[in-house]
């Protein structure tokens, strides 16, 4: 076992914390400004929200196969201009290798090959829902909430459970995209160059950070517009806010960062809203009993058993009984719970009521995909966001100054977030 770096999650919490901290300082101590943490502040959401904080997903038709891969029979994709960036960097690394400036014994950073690219978030969300559905079924049964006769009664019990769970375990597709369960690999902007263990900091440091080729690799990534994930140094992520990347993307007709986003990504709520009715339809039929017995005490004192057969719906019957407005209301409530915006319950209810009125008037759901999602997804006032952390640190420093624990305060300009996005 390494004395300084974590290798397994089996060590004590204190040991893991200290060792992870040592690794973090060791990596960032190298001074490369394009080595970035994707688990801190708003970087968690990189590539999964747009500039108005709306959760987004790729169109899919802008993805292209990567040529330089480890397994030729395996299709590994990324967004088109990211593939171009990567292939140009691969060529540059090959030239350096031919000049003899690289250590040929390095298994990963001498001849760059893609191990992994775009991971379809809809597919991973479907697997996530399977596990979530089983969890909800167990909760409903263990809490004796399974005696419902129809979908309306089922939804009352389900919403009570989701009110507690969705802040940490989002239920909607939009919420899933922003959660820890979905990674930057779902954006089409990231490529992994190895199939390594994310938990083993010792191997990460030994294999990548201490590689004789590391500095050249870092500089090449910087030149071609890639950030490097400090927690997975074999993972590179296109910085679509960098001028060089915008220039590379211009060959596809993209003239700016907003243009790149609008041409390659769309609001995830378009699919999320459509998927919600299907998910709830399937969940209801997965959880409900074929029949159950209800004990009834008559006025005469006689106890009888009544057999209840919960309603079964065909998809057509379900769609007629519960229309799009019904599920829009459920979606709005769930998204409010998932995001927990820093506003009062009265304001939350007003926003939901207003959105439903807009939908009824306009006969479409565009307002949900733009205004509503933008409003509830703003991150600057939320715990864990970069702005929240900076503000909290400023308050702590001011208090120390006021209490005369420190004699001066250093005021600096805005930190460079490296990505302009």
Q: Which two tokens stand for residue 223?
A: 């030149």
Could you tell me how many helices (H) and strands (E) the chain has, helices first?
16, 10
Identify the weakest region by mean pLDDT among 94-98, 247-251, 288-292, 388-392.
388-392
Please report which confidence band the pLDDT of residue 354 belongs to, taking 50, 70 and 90 as the band edges: very high
pLDDT at 1: 46
User: For residue 413, how many C-alpha atoms fall within 13 Å in the half-sphere facing its CB?
Assistant: 2
Cα separation, 87 vs 161, whole angstroms: 48
pLDDT tens digits, one per residue of 131-158: 999 999 999 999 999 999 999 999 999 9
Domain with CATH 3.30.1380 in the chain: 13-119+183-254
pLDDT tens digits, one per residue of 99-117: 999 999 999 999 999 999 9
| Rounded percentage of the chain residues whose pLDDT exceeds 70 | 88
Convert 57-77 to b/e letters by CB count within 10 Å (16 or more is b). Answer: bbeeebbbebebbeeeeeebb
Q: How many CB atoms lie within 10 A of CB 13?
A: 8
Identify the weakest region by mean pLDDT among 17-26, 264-273, 297-306, 307-316.
297-306
Please report which confidence band the pLDDT of residue 60 belongs to, taking 50, 70 and 90 as the band edges: confident
User: Chain-wide mean pLDDT for the chain?
Assistant: 88
301 vs 26: which has the higher pLDDT: 26
Q: Which CATH class is domain 13-119+183-254?
A: alpha beta
Beta-carbon contacts of residue 101 (< 8 Å; ≥ 6 apart) = 216
Q: Which two tokens stand for residue 104?
A: 């040929």
Look-up of token digits 């974590």: 6
Cα separation, 39 vs 41, whole angstroms: 7
pLDDT at 311: 97
Please report which confidence band the pLDDT of residue 3 belongs to, taking 50, 70 and 90 as the band edges: low
Please report which confidence band the pLDDT of residue 412 belongs to, taking 50, 70 and 90 as the band edges: very low
Averaged pLDDT, 13-19 = 84
Please report which confidence band the pLDDT of residue 15 belongs to, taking 50, 70 and 90 as the band edges: confident
Averaged pLDDT, 269-295 = 95
Beta-carbon contacts of residue 45 (< 8 Å; ≥ 6 apart) = 178, 379
Classify residue 44 by burial, with Cβ atoms within 10 Å: 0-12, 13-18, 19+.
buried
pLDDT tens digits, one per residue of 372-403: 999 998 754 444 444 444 444 555 566 666 77
Say whether pLDDT at 11 is over 80: no
Averaged pLDDT, 9-13 = 75
Instruction: Mark residue 60 as left, alpha or beta (left: phi above 0; alpha: psi -120 to 50; beta: remaining).
Output: left
Say whether pLDDT at 191 is over 70: yes
pLDDT at 389: 43
Averaged pLDDT, 408-417 = 49
| CA angle, 391 then 397 then 403, to 5° | 135
pLDDT at 401: 66
| Rounded percentage of the chain residues whose pLDDT exceeds 90 | 69
pLDDT tens digits, one per residue of 220-237: 999 999 999 999 999 999
pLDDT at 399: 65
Strand partners, 236: 191, 228
Say whether pLDDT at 279 is over 70: yes
């Amino acid at each position: 076992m390494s004395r300084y770096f974590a290798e397994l999650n089996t060590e004590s919490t204190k040991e893991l914390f200290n060792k992870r901290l040592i690794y973090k300082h060791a990596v960032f101590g190298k001074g490369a400004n394009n080595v970035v943490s994707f688990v801190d502040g708003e970087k968690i959401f990189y590539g999964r929200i747009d500039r108005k904080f709306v959760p987004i997903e790729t169109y899919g038709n802008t993805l292209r196969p990567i040529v330089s891969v480890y397994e030729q029979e395996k299709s590994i994709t990324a967004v088109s201009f990211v593939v171009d960036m990567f292939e140009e960097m691969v060529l540059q690394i090959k030239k350096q290798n031919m000049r003899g400036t690289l250590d040929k014994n390095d298994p990963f950073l001498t001849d760059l090959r893609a191990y992994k690219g775009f991971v379809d978030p809809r597919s991973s969300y479907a697997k996530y829902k399977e596990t979530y559905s089983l969890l909800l079924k167990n909760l409903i049964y263990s809490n004796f909430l399974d005696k419902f006769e129809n979908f309306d009664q089922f939804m009352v019990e389900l919403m009570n459970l989701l009110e507690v769970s969705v802040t940490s375990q989002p239920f909607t597709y939009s919420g899933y995209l922003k959660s820890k369960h979905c990674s930057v690999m779902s954006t089409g902007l990231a490529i992994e160059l190895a199939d390594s263990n994310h938990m083993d900091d010792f191997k990460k440091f030994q294999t990548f950070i201490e590689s004789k080729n590391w500095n050249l690799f870092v500089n090449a990534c910087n030149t071609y517009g890639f950030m490097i994930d400090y927690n997975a140094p074999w993972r590179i992520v296109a910085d679509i806010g960098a001028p060089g990347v915008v220039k590379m993307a211009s060959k596809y007709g993209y003239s700016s960062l907003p243009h790149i986003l609008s041409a390659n990504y769309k609001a995830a709520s378009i699919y999320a809203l459509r998927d919600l009715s299907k998910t709830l339809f399937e969940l209801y039929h997965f959880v409900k009993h074929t029949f159950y017995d209800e004990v009834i005490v008559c006025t005469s004192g006689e106890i009888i058993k009544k057999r209840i057969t919960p309603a079964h719906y065909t998809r057509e019957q379900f769609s007629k009984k519960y229309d799009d407005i019904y599920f829009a209301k459920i979606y709005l409530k769930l998204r409010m719970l998932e995001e927990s915006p820093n506003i009062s319950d009265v304001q939350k209810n007003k926003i939901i009521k207003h959105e439903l009125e807009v939908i009824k008037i306009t006969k479409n759901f565009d307002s949900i995909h733009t205004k509503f999602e933008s409003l509830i997804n703003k991150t600057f006032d939320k715990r864990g966001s970069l702005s929240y952390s900076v503000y909290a640190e400023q308050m702590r420093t001011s208090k120390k100054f006021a209490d005369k624990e420190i004699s001066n305060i250093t005021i600096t300009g805005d930190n460079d977030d490296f990505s302009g996005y």
